[in-house]
Chain A
Amino acid sequence: MLLDGAQRRWLIGTALAAVIATAAYVPYATGRLNGPSGGSWPGLTFGVVGFALMLYAGALGARRKVPTWRVGRATTWMKGHLWLGLFSYLLILYHAGFAWGGSLTLALMVLFTIVIASGIYGVILQQFMPRLMMDRLPLETVYEQIDAIVGQLRGEADALVGSVAGPLPVAELTPPDHRRGGGGLAPGEALTRGPRPRSAAVLPPPSEATPLRDAYVREIRTYLSLDVPRNRRLGRRRERDALFAHLRTMLPTPFHEALDELNAICEERRQLALQKRMHHWLHGWLLVHAPLSMALLLLAAVHAIISIRY
Chain B
Amino acid sequence: MADSRYTTKVRAKRIELSYFRRSHPFRRWRLILSIAAPVIAGGWLVGYAAFGDSRLYTSGPVATAHTMFGTRCADCHGPASGTEEKPGAREAFFVRVSDDACTACHRGPTHHETQTFSPACATCHVEHKGHVVLATLDDTHCTQCHRDLKTKPGDKPMFETRITGFTGTHPEFAVKVGDRRVRLDRTTEVKDTANIQLNHQKHLKVGLKGLEQLRDLRGANIVTQTAKGLQLSCSFCHETDPSRAMIQPVSYAKHCGPACHELDFDGRFQGVAAPHDTPTIVHAFLRTLLIETFEQCQSAGAAGGAAPGANKLRAQCSDLGLAAKTEAPAGGAPAASQPDGEEGRSRRMLRRGAAETKEEEAPAPAEQPRGRRLLRGGAAEEAPQAETKATGRSPLTWASGEITGIENILFKQKCQFCHVKSDETKGPLPQYLPTRIPVRWLPHSVFNHGVHRPIQCLECHKASTSTQTSDVLLPLASVCRECHRAVRGARTGCVECHVYHDKSQETDLNGRRTIRQLADHPTSMNQKR
Contact surface of A with B, Cβ cutoff 8 Å: 33-34, 37-39, 61, 99-105, 107, 138-139, 141-145, 148-149, 152, 180, 182-185, 191-193, 260-261, 263-265, 267-268, 271, 279-280, 283, 286-287, 290-292, 294-295, 297-299, 302-303, 306-310
Q: How far is the CA of A145 from the CA of B27 in the complex (A)?
A: 13
Given A182-B17, A183-B17, A267-B2, A38 contacting B33 (CB threshold 8 A): no
Given A102-B128, A310-B57, A264 contacting B13 (CB threshold 8 A): no
Assess the A102–B57 pair: CB atoms within 8 A.
yes
Most A C-beta atoms less than 10 A away, residue of B42, B58, B59, B141: B59
Assess the B5–A261 pair: CB atoms within 8 A.
yes
Nearest CB of chain B from residue A178's CB, rounded to whole Å: 13
Assess the A145–B95 pair: CB atoms within 8 A.
no
Contacts of A268 in B (CB 8 A): 2, 5
Assess the A148–B16 pair: CB atoms within 8 A.
yes
- From B20, B45, B60, give the contact of A99 (CB < 8 A): B60
Assess the A183–B12 pair: CB atoms within 8 A.
yes
B140 contacts chain A at the CB level, 8 A cutoff: yes
Do most interface residues of chain A lie in helix, strand or loop, or is the interface mixed? Answer: helix
B488 contacts chain A at the CB level, 8 A cutoff: no
Q: List 12 A-B contacts (CB under 8 A).
A: A34-B138, A61-B34, A102-B128, A142-B15, A143-B26, A180-B14, A182-B17, A192-B7, A193-B6, A280-B26, A299-B41, A308-B94
Contacts of B123 in A (CB 8 A): 33-34
Q: How far is the CA of A84 from the CA of B144 in the complex (A)?
A: 38
Q: How far is the CA of A143 from the CA of B30 in the complex (A)?
A: 15
B73 contacts chain A at the CB level, 8 A cutoff: yes
Contacts of B77 in A (CB 8 A): 310
B487 contacts chain A at the CB level, 8 A cutoff: no
Assess the B33–A287 pair: CB atoms within 8 A.
yes
Nearest CB of chain A from residue B421's CB, rounded to whole Å: 56
Which residues of chain B from 33 to 63 have a CB within 8 Å of any chain A CB?
33-38, 40-42, 44-45, 55-61
B29 contacts chain A at the CB level, 8 A cutoff: yes
Q: How far is the CA of A185 from the CA of B12 in the complex (A)?
A: 9
Contacts of A103 in B (CB 8 A): 55-56, 58
Contacts of B33 in A (CB 8 A): 287, 290-291
Contacts of B60 in A (CB 8 A): 99-102
B182 contacts chain A at the CB level, 8 A cutoff: no
Proximity bits, B499-525, A CB within 8 Å = 1, else 0? 000000000000000000000000000
Closest to A185 in B: B13
Assess the B45–A145 pair: CB atoms within 8 A.
no
Q: How far is the CA of A222 from the CA of B185 in the complex (A)?
A: 97
Assess the A182–B19 pair: CB atoms within 8 A.
yes
Assess the A191–B6 pair: CB atoms within 8 A.
yes
B4 contacts chain A at the CB level, 8 A cutoff: yes
Other 13 A-B pairs with CB < 8 A, given A38-B59, A103-B55, A264-B5: A101-B128, A102-B55, A104-B56, A105-B59, A142-B19, A144-B24, A191-B14, A192-B10, A264-B4, A268-B2, A268-B5, A287-B30, A295-B40
- From B1, B14, B41, B140, give the contact of A267 (CB < 8 A): B1
Assess the B13–A184 pair: CB atoms within 8 A.
yes
Q: How far is the CA of A101 from the CA of B55 in the complex (A)?
A: 11
Given A102-B60, A287-B30, A310 contacting B73 (CB threshold 8 A): yes
B9 contacts chain A at the CB level, 8 A cutoff: yes
Closest to A180 in B: B16
Assess the A145–B15 pair: CB atoms within 8 A.
yes
Contact surface of B with A, Cβ cutoff 8 Å: 1-7, 9-17, 19-20, 22, 24, 26-27, 29-30, 33-38, 40-42, 44-45, 55-61, 73, 77, 93-96, 123-124, 126, 128, 138, 140-141, 144
Contacts of A191 in B (CB 8 A): 6, 10, 13-14
Assess the A182–B26 pair: CB atoms within 8 A.
no
Closest to B144 in A: A33
Given A102-B58, A103-B55, A184-B9, A290 contacting B41 (CB threshold 8 A): no
Q: How far is the CA of A310 from the CA of B55 in the complex (A)?
A: 12
Closest to B27 in A: A144
Contacts of A38 in B (CB 8 A): 59
Q: How far is the CA of A192 from the CA of B14 in the complex (A)?
A: 11
| The 6 nearest A-B residue pairs measured at CB | A182-B16, A183-B13, A291-B37, A291-B33, A102-B58, A295-B37
Contacts of B19 in A (CB 8 A): 142, 144-145, 148, 182
Assess the A263–B1 pair: CB atoms within 8 A.
yes
Q: How far is the CA of A245 from the CA of B10 in the complex (A)?
A: 28
Q: How far is the CA of A295 from the CA of B40 in the complex (A)?
A: 8
Closest to A96 in B: B59
Assess the B13–A192 pair: CB atoms within 8 A.
yes
Nearest CB of chain B from residue A125's CB, rounded to whole Å: 15
Closest to B130 in A: A99
Q: How far is the CA of A288 from the CA of B302 in the complex (A)?
A: 114
- From A33, A105, A182, A263, give the contact of B13 (CB < 8 A): A182
Nearest CB of chain A from residue B224's CB, rounded to whole Å: 48
Contacts of A104 in B (CB 8 A): 56-57
Contacts of B16 in A (CB 8 A): 145, 148, 180, 182-183
Q: How far is the CA of A207 from the CA of B192 in the complex (A)?
A: 125
Given A141-B14, A183-B14, A287-B29, A102 contacting B56 (CB threshold 8 A): yes
Closest to A139 in B: B2
Assess the A295–B1 pair: CB atoms within 8 A.
no
Contacts of B140 in A (CB 8 A): 33
Q: How far is the CA of A200 from the CA of B73 in the complex (A)?
A: 88
Given A33-B144, A291-B36, A295-B38, A141 contacting B11 (CB threshold 8 A): yes
Closest to B92 in A: A309
- From B3, B73, B126, B128, give the contact of A138 (CB < 8 A): B3
Assess the B2–A193 pair: CB atoms within 8 A.
no
Most A C-beta atoms less than 10 A away, residue of B22, B56, B93, B123: B56
